[in-house]
Structure 1
Amino acid sequence: MKIAFASTDNIHVNDHFGWCKCFYLYEIKDDTFTFLKALFSPNEIVEEGDKLSYKIQCLEDANIVCASHIGPRASLMVKSSGIFVLKTEKEDEPIETLLNTLIALKNSNPPLWMQRFLHAPTTS
């Protein structure tokens, strides 16, 4: 299960999906998580639909995207691309905390949206 975080520092989820210049991709396997790579999305695109499509393309093979803020149109477009959207409850939520929460959820009673990614064939 791969999660892309909208972050300015790769420590906290502290960026808006549409304004994010770099997403940080992590993978959860078993009871651990691993940082995979930075997914850069620096292009400044004026037209909203094109900008959102570009951001989604930058997410590569992420199953989940987590941002501090995401608009309704962006959320719909991301979901339509097959990526699950998570929005943080607190400002500057630590990425590590969220990853550990997802691991605990996976190991207890994973919701249907998570089960879809847990039982999907892996691309790596």
Structure 2
Amino acid sequence: MQVAFATRDGEHVNAHFGWASQIDLYEVTPQGYHFRKTLTFGGNLEADGSEDKLVPKLQALTNVTLIYVSAIGSSAAARLINRRITPIKVQSEEESIDNLLQRLVATLHSPPPWLRKVLQTENTPTPTPQEAHR
């Protein structure tokens, strides 16, 4: 599964989702993890009430299952969930990406119910608009 991290330094989850200029992507399996790429975003990302700045991020996070953030607005969280991406707010901006990845790999061997549901949803195809209205 692909996991994303909102970060300012590539080492910690220390960025608010809406304000993040950098999101690091990793591929995570029960055997381990590896870095995939860094997504970068420009423009005015500060809190301005504009939801338009979220569109490029939402589009770039295709195939992401989880995203770790230091903070996230309720509208952005809802939009992620609608795209089957689960946002996770860390307890501290000192939270290390490496430590989170190690814990996630260990958790995949016997995932808690919430993660099992996320993983099952990940493997279920998203209905097309025509199928959704049947």
d(CA) in 1 for partners of 2:40 and 2:99?
Answer: 23
RMSD over aligned Cα, in angstroms?
2.1
Question: Aligned AA for 1:63?
Answer: T
- Residues 65 and 122 of structure 2 are in contact (CA less than 8 Å); yes or no, is this contact kept in structure 1? no
Residue 61 of structure 2, aligned match among 59, 62, 72? 59
- Residues 23 and 59 of structure 1 are in contact (CA less than 8 Å); yes or no, is this contact kept in structure 2? no
Question: Aligned AA for 2:55?
Answer: S
- Residues 22 and 42 of structure 1 are in contact (CA less than 8 Å); yes or no, is this contact kept in structure 2? no
d(CA) in 1 for partners of 2:6 and 2:87?
Answer: 11
| Pairing of 1:14-93 with structure 2 (within 5 A) | 14-44=14-44, 48-93=50-95
Greater CA deviation, 35-44 or 56-65?
Answer: 56-65
- TM-score normalised per structure 1: 0.85
Deviation at 1:51, TM superposition (A): 1.5
d(CA) in 2 for partners of 1:118 and 1:61?
Answer: 8
The structure carrying a bigger helix percent of its residues is 1
Deviation at 1:118, TM superposition (A): 6.8
- The alignment-based identity, stated in percent, is 34
Which structure has the larger Rg?
Answer: 2
* Alignment correspondent of 2:11: 11
Q: What is the aligned length?
A: 121
Deviation at 1:120, TM superposition (A): 5.9
Summarize the Cα distance change of 1:120–1:100 in structure 2 as closer, same or farther, 3 Å threshold. Answer: farther
- For structure 1, which runs of at least 5 residues remain unmatched after alignment? none
Deviation at 1:108, TM superposition (A): 1.8
- For structure 2, which runs of at least 5 residues remain unmatched after alignment? 126-134
Deviation at 1:41, TM superposition (A): 1.6
d(CA) in 2 for partners of 1:106 and 1:114?
Answer: 12
d(CA) in 2 for partners of 1:113 and 1:75?
Answer: 18
